[in-house]
Amino acid sequence: MKYDRDKVIDERKLLRARGPLLRLGIDPAASSSAIHAALRSTRTGQYARLLTTRAYKAQLSQARGVYSGVQYLAPEKEAGIAGHSSCHFASVGCASTCIKSTGHMVTAAAARARLKKTLRWFLFEEQTTEDLRFEVEMLEGMSKLKGMDPTARLDGTSDDRFWRRVPWWREVGTRFYDYTKRPVTGMALAAIDDGWHLTFSLSERPESLQQSQRWAEGGTNTALVVAGPIRRSRDLHRRVTHALLERGEFAGRPVLDGDRDDLRYLDPSVGGWVLLASKGGPANRDESGFVVRFDPEVLLGSDLPAEHALLSVSDRARFTRGGHRAAAAK
C-alpha cells in the first residue's frame, strides 16, 4: 500500500462520524491509525474485504464464466453519518424495499460490515481506494486461475458514482458496472464510453420516468421491479415476469431478463426495460409504486397489451404509450 497510514482524519468528518464509530465500539478520540485499523479489520483481526464474491447473483455470474466482486455499503442514511447519504436519489419505495432487508443482509453482522466499509470510504478515501485496487488485482488473479473474466460492482447497495471516486479504474482489466438512479450527466456518459456500464433504476417518482427516457435515448437500459398483486407468492411474481418477457415489449420498449444474472453490461444497449421479479420481503408489501404490479389474469389469460394488465391507475397513466410519451416530453 502506498498511502500514508498515519494521515490525520479531517476533524469535521470525524465529528460527523462520531455516532457511527461509537456504535461500532471505536473510540473517536483514538489516533487516526487506530481508527483506520479498527475499520479495516474483522472482529478476529483479519483484513475486512470491501468486495464479496459470495453474493447470490455473483454466483450466477460464475456460471457464465464471469468472476464478480460486489461492494455493499450502508444504503441511503443507514450509516447515521451526519449529513451523509449513499443514495442521494433514493425514493421512499426504493428505501423501503432495499435488499438490505432481504436474506443474509438483514443480519447484524452484515449491517456492521456495511457500516465499517462506508466509514472507511468516508474517513479514509485515499487509503480505501488503494485497498480496493489491491482487491481488484486479487480478483483479476483469481479470475485468471479460474479461467473467468473479472468484473466488479461497487455500488451494490449505494449510488456513489465510484467511476468518479476511483482514479485508476481505466488502468485495470476488470469490467465495472452498476445501477443508478441519478440523472444523465456528461461525466456519466463519458464513463460509459470508457467502459463503466450503467443501468438506470426506475423509482415511483414522476421525474424518474423522464430520466429513464433520457437515458434510453443513448441506449442505456432501465431496471424495473415487477410483480403480481401485493402479498402474493414469489412464484406468481416470477410468472408475471416471464409473461412480460414472452411478450417482448412493454410500454413501447423491448424487455430483458434481469434475473438470469447480474451481468447487465452483456445486455444489448437498446434503451429497454430490464425486468426484475419482486423477491418478497418488504417488496412484497410495497404500495408506493416502486414495484410495478400486474393483474396475472389479464396478463396470463389474454392477448391485450401488457399496459392493460397494470393494477395501478397511476401506473396505467404513466406507462401507456400516450402517458409515456407525455411524461418523456416534459
pLDDT for 17-67, tens place per residue? 999 999 999 999 999 999 999 999 999 999 999 999 988 878 888 889 999
Write down the pLDDT at residue 32: 95
Q: How confident is the model at residue 4 (pLDDT cuts 50, 70, 90)?
A: low
> Which residues are CB-neighbours of 56 under 8 A, at least 6 positions away?
103
pLDDT at 330 over 60: no
Buried b (16+ CB within 10 A) or exposed e, 39-69: bbeeeeeeebbbbebebebbebbeeeebbbb
Ranges of beta strands (E only) in 87-233 are: 149-153, 175-180, 197-201, 222-227
> Which residues are CB-neighbours of 70 under 8 A, at least 6 positions away?
51, 52, 53, 55, 57, 58, 152, 153, 156, 262
Least confident of 62-66, 136-140, 160-164, 188-192: 62-66
pTM beyond 0.85: the answer is yes
Q: How confident is the model at residue 184 (pLDDT cuts 50, 70, 90)?
A: very high
d(CA 52, CA 66): 14
Q: Is 86 exposed, middle or buried (0-12, 13-18, 19+ CB in 10 A)?
A: buried
SS3 content of the chain, % helix, strand, coil (to 5): 45, 15, 40
Q: How confident is the model at residue 173 (pLDDT cuts 50, 70, 90)?
A: very high
38's grid cell: 479498527
Q: For residues 323 and 317, is the Cβ–Cβ distance under 8 A?
A: yes
Write down the pLDDT at residue 329: 39
Write down the pLDDT at residue 327: 39
137's grid cell: 488485482
Phi, psi at 301, each rounded to 5°: -115, 10
d(CA 266, CA 199): 11
d(CA 112, CA 101): 14
User: Could you count the other beta carbons within 10 Å of the beta carbon of residue 270?
Assistant: 14
